[in-house]
Amino acid sequence: MQRKLTITLDEDVYEGLHKVIGRRKISQFIEALVRPHVTITELEAGYAAMAADEERETEALEWSEALIGDHAHETR
């Protein structure tokens, strides 16, 4: 679903958008610029899926806790 949005721009920016991007392509241009900053990315979705996997998280915690013991035996 698309929604209409009214924004205010400096006249130079407005004119530049029309010259460089083209009259009928400004919405797509702005959406492409803004989308990565306001929507969940594939990477974030992947991390969320991994965090939801309780078995994997338990294994990861056990692995990271085991590393603490390795540090205690290092010479300084």
**CB–CB of 57/51 below 8 Å?**
yes
pLDDT score, position 5: 93
- Residue 56's contacts (CB-CB under 8 Å, 6 or more residues apart) are 50
pLDDT score, position 71: 62
Q: What tens-digit pLDDT sequence spans the chain (76 residues)?
A: 989 999 999 999 999 999 999 989 999 999 999 988 888 788 888 888 888 999 988 998 888 888 876 666 666 6
pTM of the shown model: 0.52
Amino acid letter at 56? R
Whole-number Cα distances in Å, 44 to 1, 34, 36: 23, 17, 11
